Amino acid sequence: MDPKTNLLLGVTGSIATRKFEMVCDDLDIGGPIDPTAFRFHTDLPVNSSSQPDWLLPLGTPAPPFTGTTMTGEHFDLKASLKGAKVLLIDFWGIGCAPCKAELPGFEDWLRRYGSKGLKVVTVALASDREILAKYAREAHMTLPVVLSLSCKPDVIFDYKATTEPTTYLINSKGIIVGRYVNSDLGQIEKDLRAQGL
């Protein structure tokens, strides 16, 4: 922090397993601020098919878990895989705009690909049931919503879902065949089709 201007001149740190760094080089604080004077570096790709290393590896078994849905029903990952060609599991938060923007796309895919073997489940990160229910009603959301705080074991830790949204595709054998952050709907749909949907 510059004591004369109270401007933040540099930040470095980490959030969970992500690292970020913001550095201002040669910032002239005597005149207008040039936006090109800021550099933002992050290891988090946005809308890219290359995904961060911290996500669970492709080709590995999806960690099993159980939990309770927003409507009070029991959820079991193993049971949900029965009869599915692909299960899409999405970790999202009520305060995350990209998360809420992608949910209608998942609803559409379920309508289009459900008869071909797609199942979709969402896991709401640390959200109050009443707030979720209100949002679901207002957004006309029909996707199942599992409450992360009800899950056993710790689903956020097991799926490394430290970024909202985080999405995985799991095949009928329980193997991870797709992993994504930051709502890359185009890539996810391509990968769904590659699984035979």
Summarised one tens digit per residue, pLDDT across range 49-63 is 456 778 999 999 999
The first and second tokens of residue 62, run together, are 């999806």
pLDDT band at 126; cut points 50, 70, 90:
confident
Least-confidence region, from 18-27, 67-76, 131-140: 18-27
* DSSP sequence for 128-190: -HHHHHHHHHHTT--S-EEEGGG-BS-HHHHTT--SSSEEEEEETTSBEEEEEES--HHHHHH
Mean pLDDT of all residues in 149-175: 94
- Integer Cα distance of 128 and 145 in angstroms: 12
What is the per-residue pLDDT for 34? 52
pTM listed for this prediction? 0.73
Would you say residue 19 has pLDDT above 60? Answer: no
- Integer Cα distance of 121 and 84 in angstroms: 12
CATH entry 3.30.420.10 includes domain 66-194 = no
Domain boundaries, the chain: 10-42, 66-194
Least-confidence region, from 9-13, 31-35, 82-86: 9-13
The rounded percent of the chain whose pLDDT value lies above 90 is 62
